[in-house]
Homo-oligomer: A and B are copies of this chain.
Amino acid sequence: MHYLKFERIPRATISRLAVYVQELEVMEQQGLKVISSEKLAHLCGVNPSQIRKDLAYFGEFGVRGVGYYVHELRGAIRQSLGLDRNWNVVLVGVGNLGRALLRHNMLRKRGFVIVAAFDCDPFKIGEEIAGLEVNCSSKLPESTQEMNVEIGVITTPPERAQRAANYLIEGGIKGIVNFAPARITAPDYVSVEYVDFIHHMFSVAFNITQKQIKGLF
């Protein structure tokens, strides 16, 4: 019997669950109904035990001898992660990257609804992008409180990231996703995540160098 656990859930587990959801969505589109931990593991590039363990933190979602029902499992994971509802999001910094995010429907499809965008550049304020008017960032704190926004996305230059974060914190935001390559400080009650693709470039460069040293090329 499975009792609700209050173990701390590894951050790596959360990250993998997101991958599982991704792959489950592909399967669902392909009309696949059932999947075993072994097959899913192979697709996601992990160990099958890992998948069963990750899922065990949240409940029992499979059928022994059969596997997991794709649709059901996707739903279960989404619910476990708190993704079975919409989240109001604001974006700070309407530059190249900010625009790319605003124009894509990827966020909305996953339940993250960008309800406002802010910039400090007077030339950008008033512009309309993807049906959203760019506002002056000084109005941010007020707006987020009014609109019940919980997550802020920072796409300003790195040296402005902390300032953007301060606005968001003042606005009562609970989580920040920072695309600028700069650490920011925030109170404990605010969750901060860093999206830093340069790290991944570094990683690849390092891996290639290593392989070269080891003579694999």
Can you list 10 residue pairs at the A/B interface with Cβ under 8 Å?
A: A18-B203, A99-B100, A150-B208, A151-B205, A151-B208, A174-B208, A191-B203, A191-B211, A194-B200, A195-B197
Contacts of A43 in B (CB 8 A): 183
Contacts of A209 in B (CB 8 A): 81-82
Question: Which residue on chain B has the smallest CB distance to residue A152?
Answer: B204
Mark A130-156 against chain B: 1 for CB-CB distance below 8 A, else 0: 000000000000000000001100000
Q: How many residues belonging to A are interface residues under a CB distance threshold of 8 Å?
A: 62
Contact of A103 among B11, B96, B191, B203 (CB under 8 A): B96
Report A's interface with B, CB cutoff 8 A.
Answer: 9, 11, 14-15, 17-19, 21-23, 26, 43-45, 81-83, 87, 96-97, 99-100, 103-104, 106-107, 110, 112, 150-151, 174-177, 179, 181-183, 189, 191-211, 216-217
Contacts of A26 in B (CB 8 A): 182
State whether A82 and B208 are in contact (beta carbons under 8 Å apart), knowing that A100-B99, A183-B19 are contacts in the complex.
Answer: yes
Contacts of A217 in B (CB 8 A): 174, 189
Query: Do the beta carbons of A202 and B81 come within 8 Å of each other?
Result: yes
How many copies altogether?
2
How many angstroms from the CA of A97 to the CA of B174 in the assembled complex? 27
Contacts of A103 in B (CB 8 A): 96
Query: Do the beta carbons of A175 and B205 come within 8 Å of each other?
Result: yes
Question: Which residue on chain B has the smallest CB distance to residue A179?
Answer: B197
Q: How far is the CB of A160 from chain B (nearest CB, A)?
A: 13
How many angstroms from the CA of A18 to the CA of B206 in the assembled complex? 11
